[in-house]
Amino acid sequence: MPPHPGAPHPGVPGAPHPGVPGAPYPGVPGAPYPGVPGAAYPGVPGAPYPGAAGAPARPSPTTPPHSTVYTPQPATTYSSAPNATRRPARRRALTIGILLTGFLLCWMVLAFVYEIDLGVQTASLAAALAVIPLLVVVPAFLSIDRLEAEPRRYLLFAFLFGALCASVGSLFLNTSMDVLFARSGVKDPDTWAAILSAPPVEEGLKGAAILLILLLRRKEFDGIIDGVVYAGLAGAGFAFSENILYLGRAYSDYGTRGLTSVFILRCVMAPFAHPLFTACTGIGLGLAASVARTRTARIGFGLGGYACAVLLHGIWNLSASAGTYMRVYVLFQVPVFIGFIVLLVMLRRRETRLVRQHLSQYADAGWLTHPEVGMLASTAARRAARTWAKGQSPTAAQSMRSFQDAASDLALLRSRMAHGAAEANAQEREHELLGSITVHRRDFAGRLRS
């Protein structure tokens, strides 16, 4: 980030940096807006909004709010000109086909294992019980990322990858290691495999889901919280498939009493175990994406997070194998879980500060208003603004949500640029997001006038 106001903006020769004192509001001074003293708050019927009846229109995305402030070029996302070839559709179809085929094959393998090992009725009972902790774990992780929610398709990908691909891979690799330990003559090969094989194998395969999103969909991976959310979904999916196996075997071997015992231990006392382990990898990859400036640092953060995940997982399995589960659970796992919650609260507050800090620069330059920045940095105010927009029209509601999402992405992108950790096309992405913000504001404001 340039060290002082007026320094050239990245990528635009001679253009001043957002934060230029005196840059005008990109609209009409005095236009009422939620948060301005004397203006009605969003959510109140009839509350005025920039662009509503009586308020002049905003400038278009190609009109700078100040003659010295750079102009974002219209993003290709909003171009009405279609691609002249069928290649984009073919690429999309090919990608979806490959993913569906992979998931389907893994599901068939798991279904075969469950049928052979458990039987259809027992597997169905176990699956029904394994769904219960998901009703708590999945919403908990989704609630973390309120300022910049991830696309549902990537969240679904993370969950299915953990539930199907990671589970099948772990099944084969852990079984192979169990066989190797047995052939080597060690006593109790199952215990050795649980301690030495399962943690690195399972955390590596679950972490692969996060790494794939980071590498292939970089613009949807903004930082630590994104890593935690994707990791939580991958871990929850893996735990779901694993719980079916453990619950089913307990019921087959020990009946209802065994099933109840395992359900309490795995689904009631430790529903967050696998998601928490994998969240360490997510934090490492999030740091690699948001603060690491060199390739070495990115690899180091990623491997460091993976190592923490393996360590926690190994301690968990060791306590179960050594018969000290309850003692380790109370003295170690519970404090770790509490510490993780504290860390998440701190990360959310940090993200709020980043949104306010970096969007304030664009407000100073005229791309946003400072009341808008206050709204965008508060989950309650964002929710109120969406409620207000929903009361105007469905289009206004969708535009408000898109406006908020683009603004959050812009703030986190600006943070990465300030740390020298942004992706290669950061400047183009910044222009695209500014164009998106302007288009959506103009869209729902214009709809209100009509």
Across the chain, mean pLDDT equals 79
Task: Tell me what pLDDT residue 368 has.
Answer: 85
What would the pLDDT profile of 222-242 be if each residue is shown by its tens digit?
A: 889 999 999 999 999 999 999
Instruction: Band the pLDDT of 186: cuts 50, 70, 90.
Output: confident
Q: Is 93 left (phi over 0), alpha (psi -120 to 50) or beta?
A: alpha
pLDDT at 87: 66
Give every CB contact of residue 101 below 8 A, 6+ residues apart in sequence: none
Does the structure show a pLDDT above 50 at 68? no
| The predicted structure's pLDDT at residue 101 | 86
Quick one: pLDDT at residue 283? 95
Whole-number Å distance between alpha carbons of 363 and 311: 45
pLDDT digits (tens, 9 = 90+) for 376-393: 888 888 888 888 888 878
Name the token pair of 212: 């794939």
Query: By percentage, how much of the chain surpasses pLDDT 90?
Result: 37
- pTM for this predicted structure: 0.75
Q: Which long-range contacts (CB under 8 A, 24 or more apart) does 358-363 make?
A: 358/410, 358/411, 358/412, 358/414, 358/415, 358/418, 359/407, 359/410, 359/411, 359/414, 360/19, 361/17, 361/18, 361/19, 361/414, 362/18, 362/410, 362/434
pLDDT confidence bin for 213, thresholds 50/70/90: very high
pLDDT tens per residue across span 105-126: 888 888 888 888 888 899 999 9
**Short-list 359, 343, 297, 363, CA closest to 148:** 359
Least confident of 79-93, 188-202, 429-443: 79-93
- pLDDT category of residue 445 using cuts at 50, 70 and 90: low
Handedness of CA 227, 233, 238, 243 (dihedral sign): positive
Cβ–Cβ < 8 Å for 17, 5: yes
What digits encode the pLDDT tens for the residues 267-303? 999 999 999 999 999 999 999 988 888 889 999 999 9
Query: Would you state the structure tokens that stand for residue 42, as one six-digit string?
Result: 């969003």
- Give the pLDDT confidence score for residue 79 in this predicted structure: 43
Give first-to-last CA distance, the chain, whole Å: 41
Question: For residue range 395-413, what is the model confidence (pLDDT) as tens digits?
Answer: 888 888 889 888 988 988 8
